């Protein structure tokens, strides 16, 4: 294994990164800690985009940092060892001859997830030496390399849709010598060649769980994915465990953030309404709902499904929830007893109703997901009894292939 054990600028930055993750309590697994110390991120992330434009700009202005250029090197090293997502590829572009400096237009089609989220995901999976590991959407391969460093050479495989990215990541992983493989393919089909897998990690969000993923999970195995709701505001994280007996258990919980959804999935957006809301926030009325805290993840996840079609504008001064397809919105304030509403859909009344149901259900933070239905219906529930919250995920192949807003 060709891992960097030498001191120096990059090694000291990795050590500082690991110390930071450890001191905050994010990093607790000694195997992952060792991998983070020794896997050279700079080999996998030789460049990075920095967004120059503000929110809502179109086209977007970017600046490309080239890690091999002396004028970019310090900023690039700081960036790739910081707790931020690394913007890596625009519009599926080839990656071998990118020009440093300013560039305008395009949208990010690949990024390296911010380090705390990667650490949390890999620790949730509980990787051990000898595990067979499969990752969907590995991008430049940062989490795949860490998994390979733990599981051992020849045990970690990534399935990457973009051919340019797959070839680029494989070349850099080979330079590291961790023994990871990247294959070009469709993540929705899994990867039968090396199945079954002890651990499956999806770096892309899906609206429901592809049955083939569960079929390729070994007894005793774990699968972790983001469930992409119609809004980027309130994602879910789903952990699937196959017992040694073959029984499947799946637990869904709300999260502050999640992986980007699969190609073709388009989130709702509040950007087009921002100026109108600022000019005309709506008609004030009393409210029985004090704006729920941001970390009431169980409530917000339920709202994403039980009050569908809503998105939050997190840049607004007070809580602002928009139903863009219904030209309606709700703006909390100016105090906790009032809310301003606009449009044919009473957005806030729907949230009041979901919140009341969530409270009656004992404020659930986790939900069970039944993946065993022979008809492909994946049912979510907070428990049993008449007060339990429940809903169904978008059904089967149609949800995975024909997604909301898909062009």
Active-site residue numbers?
112
Residue 59: asked if its preceding bond is cis (omega within 30°), the reply is yes
Radius of gyration of the chain (CA): 22
Q: Would you tell me how many other CB atoms lie within 10 Å of the CB of residue 16?
A: 11
Residues 127 and 159 sit within 8 Å (Cβ to Cβ): no
Helix (H, G, I), strand (E, B) or coil at 189: helix
Closest CA to 343 of 323, 361, 359, 362: 323
Q: Would you tell me how many other CB atoms lie within 10 Å of the CB of residue 129?
A: 10
The tally of CA atoms less than 13 A away on the side-chain side of residue 122 is: 33
Residues 312 and 233 sit within 8 Å (Cβ to Cβ): yes
Cα–Cα distance, 252 to 23 (Å, whole number): 28
> What is the β-pairing status of strands 156-160 and 101-104?
unpaired
Pairs from 209-212 (Cβ < 8 Å, separation ≥ 24):
209/238, 209/240, 209/250, 209/369, 209/371, 209/378, 209/393, 210/400, 211/371, 211/376, 211/396, 212/188
Cα–Cα distance, 102 to 343 (Å, whole number): 41
Residue 172, both tokens = 């850099």
Within 8 A by CB and 6+ apart from 23, the residues are none
Beta bridge partners of 342: 329
Cα–Cα distance, 135 to 204 (Å, whole number): 10
DSSP string covering 107-125, please?
-EEEEEPPHHHHHHHHHHH
Cα–Cα distance, 396 to 210 (Å, whole number): 7
Alpha carbon dihedral 218, 224, 230, 231, in 10-degree steps, equals 180
What are the phi and psi torsion angles at 302 (to 5°)?
A: -60, -40
The tally of CA atoms less than 13 A away on the side-chain side of residue 357 is: 23
Residues 86 and 79 sit within 8 Å (Cβ to Cβ): yes
Cα–Cα distance, 216 to 28 (Å, whole number): 28
């Amino acid at each position: 294994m060709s891992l960097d054990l030498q001191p120096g600028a990059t090694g000291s930055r990795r050590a500082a990164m690991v110390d930071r993750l450890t001191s905050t309590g994010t990093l607790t697994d000694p195997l992952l800690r060792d991998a983070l110390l020794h896997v050279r991120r700079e080999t996998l992330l030789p460049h990075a985009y920095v967004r120059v434009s503000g929110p809502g700009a179109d086209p977007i202005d970017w600046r490309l940092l080239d890690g091999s250029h002396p004028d970019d090197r310090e900023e690039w090293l700081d960036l790739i060892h910081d707790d931020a997502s690394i913007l890596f590829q625009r519009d599926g572009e080839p990656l071998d001859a990118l020009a440093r400096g300013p560039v305008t237009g395009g949208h990010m089609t690949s990024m390296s997830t911010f380090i705390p989220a990667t650490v949390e995901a890999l620790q949730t999976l509980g990787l051990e030496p000898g595990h067979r590991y499969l990752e969907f959407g590995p991008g430049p391969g940062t989490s795949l390399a860490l998994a390979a460093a733990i599981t051992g050479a020849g045990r970690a495989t990534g399935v990457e849709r973009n051919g340019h990215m797959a070839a680029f990541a494989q070349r850099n992983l080979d330079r590291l010598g961790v023994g990871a493989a990247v294959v070009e393919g469709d993540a929705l089909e899994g990867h039968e060649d090396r199945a079954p897998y002890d651990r499956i990690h999806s770096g892309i969000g899906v609206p429901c769980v592809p049955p083939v993923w569960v079929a390729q999970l070994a007894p005793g195995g774990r699968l972790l994915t983001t469930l992409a709701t119609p809004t980027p505001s309130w994602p879910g994280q789903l952990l699937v465990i196959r017992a040694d007996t073959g029984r499947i258990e799946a637990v869904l919980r709300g999260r502050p953030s999640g992986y980007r959804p699969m190609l073709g999935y388009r989130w709702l957006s509040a950007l087009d309404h921002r100026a109108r809301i600022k000019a005309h926030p709506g008609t004030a009325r009393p409210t029985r709902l004090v704006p729920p805290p941001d970390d009431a993840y169980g409530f917000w996840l339920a709202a994403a499904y039980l009050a569908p079609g809503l998105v939050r504008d997190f840049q607004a001064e007070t809580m602002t929830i928009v139903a863009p397809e219904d030209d309606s919105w709700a703006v909390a304030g100016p105090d906790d007893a009032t809310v301003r509403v606009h449009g044919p859909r009473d957005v806030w009344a729907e949230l009041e109703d979901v919140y009341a149901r969530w409270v009656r259900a004992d404020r659930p933070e986790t939900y069970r997901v039944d993946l065993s239905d022979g008809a492909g219906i994946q049912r979510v529930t907070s428990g049993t009894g008449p007060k339990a919250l429940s809903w169904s995920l978008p059904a089967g192949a149609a949800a995975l292939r024909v997604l909301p807003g898909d062009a």
